[in-house]
Amino acid sequence: MIIVCQKLLKKLKINGIAIFPFIFVSRPEDKKNKVLVNHEKIHLRQQLELLMIFFYILYLAEYYYHLWKLKNPYLAYRQISFEKEAYANEHNLDYLNKRKFWSFRKYR
């Protein structure tokens, strides 16, 4: 895992994003934000499990399905199973040590 600060994310109003093997954060101080970094680490694990490409295909498919259904970009984002898992467990810093393979399926 490599954490990189990226000013472009500020313009997109994103605090962090995981694109294997990197975690990009919008502010240098976010590198020390354990909750944010843990959230993004959960995404890195999801990406590994789905060989990266399938993660992105499923992520976008879920997003656009929920966007079509809910007509709200933020609500659509929050309904993505990968995000549900990450948000539900971001405060549990030990989660990845106990997490089972493909745990995101429980959040579908």
Q: How confident is residue 11, by pLDDT bands cut at 50, 70 and 90?
A: confident
Q: What mean pLDDT is predicted for residues 77-95?
A: 98
pTM comes to 0.93
Beta sheet of 2-5, edge-to-edge order: 2-5, 22-25, 16-19
Strand positions, DSSP E, the chain: 2-5, 16-19, 22-25
Instruction: Tell me the C-alpha distance between 65 and 3, whole Å.
Output: 31
Instruction: Tell me the C-alpha distance between 20 and 37, whole Å.
Output: 13
Q: What is the pLDDT of residue 9?
A: 77
Q: What mean pLDDT is predicted for residues 68-75?
A: 98
Q: How confident is residue 46, by pLDDT bands cut at 50, 70 and 90?
A: very high
Give the tens place of pLDDT for each residue, 19-31: 999 999 988 999 9
